[in-house]
């Protein structure tokens, strides 16, 4: 009986210890997760690297790894909540995701919430400066070979919508002798540099990091979206901002502003992440606003807690409670 009692007591201690480890593991998982970003040649990747550095500096015991991703896929990954608990997305895609429309038609993503809306991303329809094409329409009519990003992601979705607003389908492009294939930003830029494709479609604020690097050796040129197409896009209700342009001087030989569409970039989080942890993540972001303005000025200069909260569709519902608590503390919530 004595041996049995000792064994039972030991077993109970193991159960208690095991429960303690599980609880700690739950908190640890929130602090040690992957943050899904964009391709390495995109602006999201260096921004995410800075963001996670800030988080790890401010939150004791945190270890957050940046991984490559893409806007729409990021939403699905963070919604799944397996390892990637935070990530980058577009506010317009987030609105589609929670409503179950667009790329998420019939598949509402019910386990994602927002932390902050950050800055506008402008879509660059870019060719080499040596290209004979002066407009998107000229490129399509002449049979251009185009890489609009990864399949079923925000850049390719935007490209398809712009082409459709101009009256073209993918079949029309192919019928003209052109092609639309899908690849990441880095590979696409290498192919643009080598002349194996004619145009890429990529998002930046206002320029794309990888295209800017290419521009130092092979100057590139963004092509304008026509006013007529911009109006069609606006009336379609996709959530694009049609009032912005890629500013002159964003690329070496770009002498004029180039009209395009823009969407707001944001940080998303799995809804089950600990409320206190999300509060600390949100606080760390805004407490270090100066770092983003100094180290990522093209993006950081847009950062504003008012946009951070109110730029999200229905923030009372879709902002994570931990983040909302922070915005309430600083007086942003009405």
The verdict on 275 and 292 lying in the same domain is: yes
Domain membership flag for residue 196: yes
How far is it, in rounded angstroms, from Cα 167 to Cα 178?
16
Q: What pLDDT does residue 153 have?
A: 87
- Residue 189 near residue 216 (C-beta atoms within 8 A): no
How far is it, in rounded angstroms, from Cα 50 to Cα 292?
8
Round the average pLDDT of the chain to a whole number and report it.
91
pLDDT digits (tens, 9 = 90+) for 277-300: 999 999 999 999 999 999 999 899
Greater model confidence, 141 or 39: 141
Please, which residues bridge with residue 319 across strands? Answer: 114
Q: What pLDDT does residue 26 have?
A: 42
Domain membership flag for residue 318: yes
Q: What pLDDT does residue 179 have?
A: 98
Domain membership flag for residue 334: no
Work out the pLDDT band at 7, boundaries 50, 70, 90: very low
Work out the pLDDT band at 14, boundaries 50, 70, 90: very low
pLDDT digits (tens, 9 = 90+) for 85-138: 999 999 999 999 999 988 899 999 999 999 999 999 999 999 999 999 999 999
The verdict on 141 and 245 lying in the same domain is: yes
Domain membership flag for residue 133: yes
Pairing of β 84-90 and β 199-204? unpaired
Domain membership flag for residue 127: yes
Instruction: Write down how long the chain is.
Output: 334
pLDDT at 152 over 80: yes
The verdict on 160 and 241 lying in the same domain is: yes
The verdict on 128 and 102 lying in the same domain is: no
Work out the pLDDT band at 19, boundaries 50, 70, 90: very low
Pairing of β 112-128 and β 262-270? antiparallel
The verdict on 129 and 236 lying in the same domain is: yes
Residues spanned by the domain of 22: 2-119+267-329
In degrees, rounded to 5, the angle at the alpha carbon of residue 168 between the alpha carbons of residues 166 and 169 is: 140
Helix/strand number for the chain, H first, E second:
16, 11
Which of 26-40, 46-60, 279-293 shows the lowest per-residue confidence on average (mean pLDDT)?
A: 26-40
The verdict on 281 and 307 lying in the same domain is: yes
The verdict on 221 and 249 lying in the same domain is: yes
The verdict on 213 and 322 lying in the same domain is: no
| DSSP reduced 3-state for 48 | helix
Model-wide pTM > 0.85: no
The verdict on 102 and 197 lying in the same domain is: no
Q: Which of 263, 280, 303 is the last residue of a domain?
A: 263
The verdict on 12 and 69 lying in the same domain is: yes
The verdict on 163 and 254 lying in the same domain is: yes
Question: In this prediction, what percent of the chain has a pLDDT beyond 90?
Answer: 83
The verdict on 231 and 276 lying in the same domain is: no
pLDDT at 70 over 50: yes
Q: Which of 263, 295, 318 is the last residue of a domain?
A: 263
The answer for 316, left when phi > 0, alpha when psi is -120 to 50, beta otherwise, is alpha
pLDDT digits (tens, 9 = 90+) for 78-87: 999 999 999 9
Cβ atoms within 10 Å, residue 236: 12
Domain of 308, CATH number, reads: 3.40.190.10
pLDDT digits (tens, 9 = 90+) for 213-224: 999 999 999 999
Q: How many domains does the chain have?
A: 2
pLDDT digits (tens, 9 = 90+) for 168-190: 999 999 999 999 999 999 999 99
Domain membership flag for residue 105: yes
């Amino acid at each position: 009986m004595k041996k049995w009692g000792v064994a039972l007591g030991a077993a109970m201690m193991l159960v208690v210890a095991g429960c303690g480890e599980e609880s700690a593991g739950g908190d640890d998982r929130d602090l040690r997760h992957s943050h899904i970003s964009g391709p390495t040649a995109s602006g999201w990747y260096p921004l995410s690297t800075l963001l996670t550095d800030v988080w790890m500096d401010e939150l004791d015991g945190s270890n957050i790894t940046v991984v490559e991703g893409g806007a729409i896929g990021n939403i699905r990954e963070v919604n799944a909540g397996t390892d990637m608990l935070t990530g980058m997305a577009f506010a317009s895609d987030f609105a589609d995701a929670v409503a179950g429309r667009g790329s998420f038609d019939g598949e509402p993503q019910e386990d994602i919430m927002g932390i902050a809306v950050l800055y506008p991303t402008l879509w660059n329809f870019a060719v080499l400066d040596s290209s004979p094409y002066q407009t998107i329409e000229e490129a399509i009519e002449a049979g251009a070979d185009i890489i609009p990003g990864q399949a079923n992601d925000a850049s390719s979705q935007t490209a398809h919508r712009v082409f459709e607003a101009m009256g073209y389908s993918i079949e029309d492009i192919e019928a003209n002798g052109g092609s639309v294939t899908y690849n990441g930003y880095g590979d696409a830029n290498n192919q643009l540099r080598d002349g194996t494709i004619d145009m890429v479609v990529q998002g930046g604020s206002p320029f794309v990091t990888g295209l800017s690097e290419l521009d130092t050796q092979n100057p590139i040129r963004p092509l304008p979206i026509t006013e007529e197409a911009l109006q069609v896009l606006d009336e379609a209700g996709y959530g694009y901002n049609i009032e912005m342009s890629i500013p002159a001087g964003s690329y070496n030989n770009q002498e004029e502003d180039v009209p395009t569409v823009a969407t707001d970039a944001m940080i998303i989080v799995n809804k089950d992440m600990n409320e206190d942890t999300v509060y600390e993540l949100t606080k760390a972001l805004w407490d270090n606003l100066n770092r983003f303005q100094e180290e990522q000025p093209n993006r950081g200069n847009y950062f504003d807690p008012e946009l951070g909260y109110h730029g999200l569709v229905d923030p009372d519902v879709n902002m994570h409670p931990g983040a909302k608590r922070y915005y309430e503390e600083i007086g942003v919530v009405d």
